[in-house]
Each structure stands twice: as C-alpha cells, then as structure tokens.
Chains A and B, each alone.
Chain A
C-alpha cells in the first residue's frame, strides 16, 4: 500500500498533488498568521498608546480579524465610472498573489521549502521587485489624482530602495557563498550574519520598511496629504486583498531578514551549553519566533516615528544607503579575500 503510494508520488500527477498539498500546508497557516498580525498590530499599537485595542469580539478580541474579514466580504465592490475595470480588479489580485508566490522558496526548517532552488535569493528579489506593479496599476486604473500620486510615489520609493537592498544581499551572498536560501542559513551555523554585518542588518531592516510601504515610509498612502494614496478608490474585497498583501509582505520581509541575518531556523548559541538546550526546540519554532521578533520592530517603528517627507526619503535612499551599502560591500569582500575566508562555491 505504502509502496504504491510512494510510486504514485513519483508520477507527474503525484508530484502535482504533492506540491499542491505542500503549498496549502504553507499558505493556510500563513493566512492565519496574516490575520493575527493585523490583530497583533492593533493590540501592540493600543498598548503603546495606552489604549486597549480590539477587545470586544471573542475572548480578548481574538475573533476581530474574522469579524473584519466577514464585514469586508459583504460590502459592495465599487468600481469608479472612469476606471479601467479589468486592471482595476487585477491590481489587488496581483499584489496578493505576489505576496503569496514568494513563499515558495522560504525554508522554515532545514530543507523545508516548497522549491529549494539554487537561485532562491534572486527569486525573492525578483518577486519583491514585481510588487510595485500592483500599486502602479491600481493608481493608474483608478483614474483618480490621489491614487495616481500615491502610485508615483510608491514606484519611485520601491525602485530606489531595491538598489541598496540588492547591495546588502550581495554582501550576505559574499559571506555565504551561495544563492540558495538553505545554504545561506547553514552558513550561519558558527555566527549569525547580523553580528559581523550589523550596519547592513540595520540598513536592510530600514529598506524593508520602505519596500513594504510601512511607516515611517508610508508616503504612498499618506492620509494627511493624498487621502489614502493608491487605494483611495478601493472598497470591500479588493481593498482587503491590498491589505492582506501588505501584511503578507511584511511577514515575507521579516522572514527574509531572518534568513539572511538572523540564522533562519538555527537555535542561538550553538556549540555552548545553552545551545544544547535551545536545540531541543524544533527549527520552525525558532523561525517563527525570529520572524515575530522582526515584526514587532515593524509595529514599534509605526508607533514611534512620524512619517518621512518625500525628499527626505529619497535622500536617505540614494545619498545615504546606496553609498554606505556599496562601501560596506567592497569592505566585506576585501576583508574576506585578504583573510582567506571566502567560501568556495560548490
């Protein structure tokens, strides 16, 4: 019986079914995570501002995300009369689909990825650079000034910060000697890259804030200047998809930070007494804990910092991060070469 099943899983149909099952096993927990991230954000912001946050629906307000989702589903999707309807509806779907698509290569434990591909980092970078299209298309298809302004801002912002993000990733790749995410995490067994590359870690985190349009870089949706930016015209599920896409992207960027700098699923203090005890906790738990840790910083910055002005944002991206990351890349590569620490590619 089991032999038959294993043989079936080798056939094309079996591989397809297995992949679908794997994808569901990843996406369903991810969507629940996204739902509870919105809850966590409201709770964290609430306690930072001495409020209670959602506390009415269910115990401790735990059913609030589902109440919101049901409310969204029963609202009417309004399509503005001057809009381009097909593109208008496609934009939120694209944003959401891309936020899910990138998860195909994220390893939550040693070898636990749907697709353990050789160019994992490039794949992540490619998918996250596509994210800008959902926003541009939304801004253009809405046929509204505010939406278009928001889309312009967002496109300029995301393209700018991708450049320095790319250099930071290359620095990590120089240290890891591979483009494979699994290999990058395994290269951090001796020391997490966040420690030797600490300035890059901070810059990467700030760039991810800009890449996900989160506060203090949320000028594409700055409600005090351009109402709600690129999604002014969106309502009901089309709005919900943007919203979910943004939060899924936050989790994605946090897990990218975790994989590149915080040692992915690896337990801390490996090789010491404490490390022995920590390794008893399975890898996926460590991974989720680290992702939550990074996500908390996302929420913390939102509660703490005022929104950047547009020119300040551009100045930070092009005049501070770009030269600094380029300098650090050359420095790291030089030190690695001089000390003979360069890992050899397989």
Chain B
C-alpha cells in the first residue's frame, strides 16, 4: 500500500514536472523542472529495487549533466516572445504529426504479443540474495565487457573530438609556469635603488629588473602586455 502510494506520488510529480519542462516560460525554470523530473525518476528506480541505477542517475544526470545544461541556459540570451511568434501558424501541423505518431504507437502496441515464457528467457535474471550492484558489475564485466568497453571508447572519442574542435590557442594567453616561479630568488627579481627626493618613476627608469618571462606572441592590437612591466 505504502509502496503504491509512494509510486503514484513520485510518478505524479515526475509527469507534472515533465509537462512544466515544456510549458515553462523561463528556460532556467524549464531546466530546474527537468532536474526535478530526473530526481523523481531516480526515486522510482529506488521503488523498483534498482538502487544502484537510482544513485547513478542522480550523480551523472543531476549532479553533472544538468549543471552544465543550467550553465548554458543561464548564459544564453533568448527572446522567447520572438520564438513563440509562429506558434499559431505551426500548431495544426505539429498536432497532426503528433497524432500520426500516437496512432502508429497504438497500432504497434495493440498488435504486440508477448510470449508467456519470455520472463523465463530473460538474459540475466537477478540471482536471489545478491545486491543488484554486485549483480550489475558481474554482468557488465563478464558477458557484456566488449559492449561496455566499446561504448566507453565512443564516449572518449566524442570527448577528444569536442576538445580538439574547441581548443584554439591563439598564442596570446600568458601561462603560469610554477617551476619557474618557485625558482625565482630575490637576487634576480629585486634591485635596491637610492630614490632621489621628488624624482618620478620615469626619471629613475624601470624599478624592476627585466624578468625572463616567456613573452606572449602578441597579436597586432595587443599592446597592453608590453607596457605591463613598468607599473
């Protein structure tokens, strides 16, 4: 009874927040509703006894993916009034497509027949008395090791691709070289001078000895880095 109540509670919030994701006016609110939906989905996983999947869903989707998503949406400057302008015109068209998809789904589902012995033929029934974390690990790292590793490899390739596409070093960034910084002593950074009364920095010359910093390969308009040493 309690489990059923909890199920309907979480399922209702999940569906309601899913609707709000689409209908919310503010994109940031949409993402926050999406996070709520993820969270309730993980609660449903807990109810289904898949505690490992529930926690991973929260860690990966809520804790990392949605944070980046929220970041992007917060930085965007979208004019929603402009985006919604054509709604009246496209609404019938969109509804028609939706209807066609719904009817097709209905046809497929009605014609679907499940053999009664399917449940027994499941690939990996969970053995009694094992935690589903351990069970999952045993399956992934034995029977499905190839698929698991290949999907990891695909993600790696995607990650490297994203980095290669976005990393452009134009040679104007000044990097901090920690080793060089620590190796500096007062002997090669400090000069004691007798300052005449009333004399300005211009008359005295540079107070700091020139440090052998790696000069950035400056672009034509970048003049600030050259004057930086005098201040």
Contact = CB atoms under 8 A, between A and B. Distances in A.
Given A133-B35, A346-B131, A118 B63 contact: no
Q: Is the interface of A mostly helix, strand, loop or mixed?
A: helix
Interface in B1-53: 1-2, 28, 32, 35, 51-52
Interface in A146-183: 148, 152, 155, 159, 162, 179
Contacts, number: 61
Contacts of A3: none
Contacts of B32: 87, 137
B133 to A, nearest CB: 6
A122 B56 contact: yes
A12 interface: yes
Nearest to A156: B71
B134 A132 contact: no
A126 interface: yes
Contacts of A137: 32
A16 to B, nearest CB: 9
A305 B54 CA distance: 39
B150 to A, nearest CB: 21
B71 A126 contact: no
Interface in B106-154: 131, 133-134, 137
Given A119-B133, A126-B59, A130-B58, A136 B52 contact: no
Contacts of A132: 63, 67
A118 B62 contact: no
Contacts of A148: 74
A136 B67 contact: yes
Contact of B133 (A118, A133, A312): A118
A345 interface: yes
A122 B71 contact: no
Interface of B: 1-2, 28, 32, 35, 51-52, 55-56, 58-59, 62-64, 67-68, 70-71, 74, 131, 133-134, 137, 176
Interface of A: 12, 87, 117-119, 122-123, 125-126, 129-130, 132-133, 136-137, 140, 148, 152, 155, 159, 162, 179, 311-312, 315, 345-346
26 contacts: A118-B131, A118-B133, A119-B133, A122-B59, A123-B55, A126-B55, A126-B62, A126-B63, A129-B59, A129-B63, A129-B64, A130-B58, A130-B62, A132-B67, A133-B67, A136-B67, A136-B70, A136-B74, A140-B74, A152-B71, A155-B71, A159-B63, A159-B64, A159-B67, A312-B176, A346-B134
Given A119-B51, A312-B176, 13 more contacts: A117-B51, A119-B55, A122-B55, A122-B59, A126-B58, A129-B63, A129-B64, A130-B63, A136-B70, A140-B28, A159-B63, A311-B176, A346-B134
